[in-house]
A and B are shown apart, each in its own frame.
Chain A
């Protein structure tokens, strides 16, 4: 099999061996969940429940009108205790619905009937229903891109341009994280089925499951699942593509460039080059939504890191404070060594002050780093070595971009491509002077957007 890749990138230490061999476990008993109302990229939602309401597992508890909205469901059967702002995994406070699990039935009392506890939708056969019905189901199930951005999947699946390829993103290029790898090993049939469902909805001609070389052991399982899938027997074309292990191979733009040789035009979307890219977790969530009518109320994540004495790949209800996963004994923390907590991967994840923060739809991992892994350096002067220029996967000349931003020349910064930056952090990783490059670009993007908005208002 040919190994494909993109130009640029870097090789941060992978550190996946800590958890790549661990089968996915499940957190069964949850006493309380803290469900953020807004877990998607788009317009904010309204809570549909109030304090004191009894909610079923799978019941919709927040929603709003508008295309860029995705509802949120209760991950457990319980009572709404509070609705208040809490710290979310982006380290900002946001409205959260706090639900306490129903107590087990007292002695002598009958256990409640399952239909009083669970509120799933009826199953739906995506291969016989209409496209509108399928899209409505994807939205109703609350599915977002689970790789990190939280983009509404029903919007992604309703492109205004013809689609040729559906790409399943099994690159998982962030160090430490192994949940997608485990999902491909343990649920290969569902990954293939998810690709087939996506292909059906967007009328794509080819499905490609992209896997990095360090996860090549999942390929025979995926190929077996493809060969035995009723969809491929019915004529759907699905294959596996091997990719070089390199960061940020799992970036949507890099994945598309590596596989199709085409580049998503500046300011455009994958659909502009006939592609839809789906996260492995999102694909499985879609399978559950059609087969069982189950909304996105739980997800798999990796808990790892040098200060994590016992790492784990675990499926937990959305809203579970990570501390509760640890309290249940599924993972162990070495408190004395703990220096840093990251929600997400070490390259793009968010550093947070504690692990009380709940699991969200886009939480692919929680890293508990020791002092060695969390080592940060003082910023030195740029020596103009050009390492960032060669590593930038978007070919943005970070060294020159940083100079433009520091001198507040936003015209030049825009020309170099500030708004095209995907904020992957490769430039900051490779910098021998430890310049805060991507950090400057993040701030610079906001300033530039504000300037452009002002300009547009003045032009009116």
Chain B
């Protein structure tokens, strides 16, 4: 019998200070620049959209887990991230009740029905967006020009660069539409972020800032984002599109750093992650080029989520791997 208060347990007896909630908090921190810029572009209505989405997601998780008598998990902050990510990929003027509905669907159906954190096969925020896009196609494809911190009513609706391209406009036309002097200036403008689009996807600079921060502190590994970006660039070029324009518009960069890297839904093995990223880039370009939608990042990531379990089969060779001895087939000569 152990003396009173002496702890017995199986080794190891030393543990990292890194915890799940700490990892999730660092992702939230990485999203702050994009959130701030979204509010700067679209005003307090954008802030309201973010708050409604986050609060709905957290409340949905809390209530659902209470209802099924499971442990409360909102302390790990993963629901906050889902709500935040959903808001950032919705049109800035999405009705608040719609955002709330999307967040609830994302948490309850896409995450908790599958067992909660770590066991969901599909990215919950993307499922939330896909659900809203299917249910309210008009609202989720109504974009507006950035109107600063002005009142919501002042918003002027506008097409996104990708939608204009889909309608057959040339790059020069799109540049003119957004008031840029030439295409070079327009690409720089896209990098900085002044354009119509989803709430948090427009400033490539600020998204890169957050993404590189996550890579720097080791929360995200480089393979997925780099392969997504490289693959989008290459396949856009292959399909005769401007590869830089392909990277700077839509949600490619945001998706590469914050959606495709979702722990639960990306493959775990390095080779699996590379193929996963390449697939996302390829499908994004195919949807943009041949599909019915001007943008395809949401669906390309969701499609690749499906094959994640298979990509996990492509493992690194273990230490001291010895290839299995193949039985020697008798040759025809030997058989005679």
Q: Mark A230-258, 1 if CB is under 8 A from B, else 0.
A: 00000000000000000000000100010
Q: Which residues of B contact A (CB under 8 A)?
A: 1-3, 5-16, 18-20, 22-23, 76, 78, 115-119, 219, 221, 263-264, 268-269, 312, 315-322
Report yes or no: B2 in contact with A354, Cβ–Cβ below 8 A: yes
Partner of B268, one of A257, A263, A384: A384
**Beta-carbon contact of B118 and A384 below 8 Å:** yes
**Smallest CB gap from B78: residue in A:** A383
Complex: A264 Cα to B319 Cα, angstroms: 8
Q: A374-B13, A375-B15 are in contact. Are A397 and B316 (CB under 8 A)?
A: yes
Which residue from chain B places its CB closest to the CB of A342 in the assembled complex? B13
Q: Identify which of B8, B11, B116, B320 contacts A381 (C-beta below 8 A).
A: B116
Dominant SS among interface residues on chain A: loop
Which residue of chain A lies nearest to B3 when distances are taken between CB atoms in the complex?
Answer: A354
Bound state CA distance, A399 and B2, in angstroms? 33
Chain B residue contacts of A369, Cβ below 8 A: 13
Given contacts A346-B14, A347-B11, A400-B312, contact A338 B322 (CB under 8 A): no
Contact: B119 with A432, CB < 8 Å? Answer: no
Q: Which secondary structure dominates chain B's binding surface?
A: loop
Is A376 a contact partner of B7 (Cβ separation < 8 A)?
Answer: yes
* CB atoms of B319 and A394 under 8 A apart: yes
Known contacts A265-B320, A348-B12, A429-B15; decide if A338 and B6 are in contact (CB<8 Å): yes
Binding site for B on A (CB under 8 A): 10, 12-13, 91, 175, 253, 257, 263-268, 338-342, 344, 346-354, 369, 373-377, 380-387, 389-390, 393-397, 399-400, 416-417, 420, 425-426, 428-434, 436, 438-439, 442
Complex partner residue of A389 from B119, B219, B269, CB under 8 angstroms: B269
Q: How far is the CA of A350 from the CA of B9 in the complex (A)?
A: 8
CA–CA, A13 to B219, complex, Å? 20
Q: Are A354 and B6 in contact (CB under 8 A)?
A: yes
Residues A400 and B20 in contact in the complex (CB < 8 Å), given A268-B320, A394-B319, A416-B315: no
Tell me if A383 and B13 are in contact (CB < 8 A): no
Known: A263-B319, A266-B320, A397-B316. A376 touches B14 (CB 8 A): no
Residues on A with beta carbons closer than 8 Å to the beta carbon of B9: 351, 376
Closest 3 CB pairs of A and B: A353-B2, A425-B12, A417-B318
Contact B11 A395 (CB under 8 A): no
Docked-complex contact A420 and B319, CB < 8 angstroms: yes
Return chain B residues, CB-CB under 8 Å to A257: 319
User: Which residues from chain B contact A436 at a C-beta distance below 8 Å?
Assistant: 10
- Chain A hits for B23, CB < 8 A: 383, 385, 432
A-B contact list, 11 entries, CB within 8 Å = A12-B12, A263-B320, A265-B320, A346-B11, A348-B12, A353-B8, A354-B6, A375-B15, A381-B115, A383-B263, A400-B312
Q: Report Cα–Cα, A425/B119, bound state, in Å.
A: 24
**B221 nearest in chain A by CB position:** A386
Q: A433–B250 Cα gap in the complex (Å)?
A: 34
Q: For B315, what are the chain A residues with a Cβ–Cβ distance below 8 Å?
A: 397, 400, 416
CB atoms of B320 and A264 under 8 A apart: yes
Which B residues are CB-close (under 8 A) to A348? 11-12
Provide the residues of chain A in CB contact with B263, threshold 8 Å: 383-386
Chain B nearest Cβ from A343, distance in angstroms: 10
Contact B6 A340 (CB under 8 A): yes
Q: Which residues of B contact A428 (CB under 8 A)?
A: 12, 15
Q: How far is the CB of B274 from chain A (nearest CB, A)?
A: 14
Chain B, Cβ-Cβ closest to A383: B118
Residues in B with CB closer than 8 Å to A347 are: 11-14
**CB–CB A430/B13 < 8 A:** no
Whether B16 pairs with A430 at a CB distance below 8 angstroms is yes
Within the assembled complex, what's the spacing in Å between the Cα atoms of A353 and B5? 10
- Cβ distance A92 to chain B, nearest Cβ, rounded Å: 13
Tell whether A349 pairs with B11 under 8 Å between CB atoms, given A382-B118, A383-B118, A384-B268.
yes
Taking CB atoms, residues of chain A closer than 8 Å to B13 are 340, 342, 346-347, 349, 351, 369, 373-374, 376
B319–A253 CB distance below 8 A: yes
User: Hey, which chain A residues are within 8 Å of B219, CB to CB?
Assistant: 385
B268 and chain A: residue at smallest CB distance: A386
Among residues of A, the one whose C-beta sits closest to the C-beta of B116 is A381
* Extra pairs beyond A253-B320, A354-B3, A383-B78 (17, CB < 8 Å): A12-B12, A12-B14, A263-B320, A268-B320, A340-B6, A340-B8, A348-B12, A349-B11, A353-B1, A373-B13, A376-B7, A376-B9, A382-B118, A428-B15, A432-B20, A434-B15, A438-B11
Q: Tell me, in angstroms, the Cα distance from A428 to B16 when the chains sit together.
A: 9
- Nearest Cβ in chain A — how far from B29, in angstroms? 16
* Nearest CB on A from B127, distance (A): 17
**Complex interface: chain A residues within 8 A of B312 (CB):** 400
With known contacts A349-B13, A383-B23, A400-B315, A266–B116 Cβ distance under 8 A: no
Given contact pairs A374-B7, A381-B117, A429 touches B14 in the complex (Cβ within 8 A) = yes
Question: B316 contacts A432, CB within 8 Å?
Answer: no
Q: How far is the CB of B277 from chain A (nearest CB, A)?
A: 14
List the B side residues contacting A383 at CB < 8 Å: 20, 23, 78, 117-118, 263-264
Q: Within 8 Å CB of A349, what residues of B?
A: 11, 13
How far, in whole Å, are A380 and B116 apart by their CA atoms in the complex? 12
A442 to B12, CA, bound (A): 12
Please indicate the chain B residues that have their CB under 8 angstroms from the CB of A91 in the complex.
Answer: 8
A385-B23 Cα distance, complex, nearest whole Å: 9
Using Cβ atoms and an 8 Å threshold, which residues of chain B touch A267? 322
Q: What residues on B are CB-neighbors of A263 within 8 Å?
A: 319-321
Q: In the complex, which of the residues A340, A430, A434, A439 has the most CB atoms of chain B within 10 Å of its own CB atom?
A: A340
B118–A381 touching, CB < 8 Å? yes
Whole-angstrom distance from the CB of B263 to the nearest CB of chain A? Answer: 5
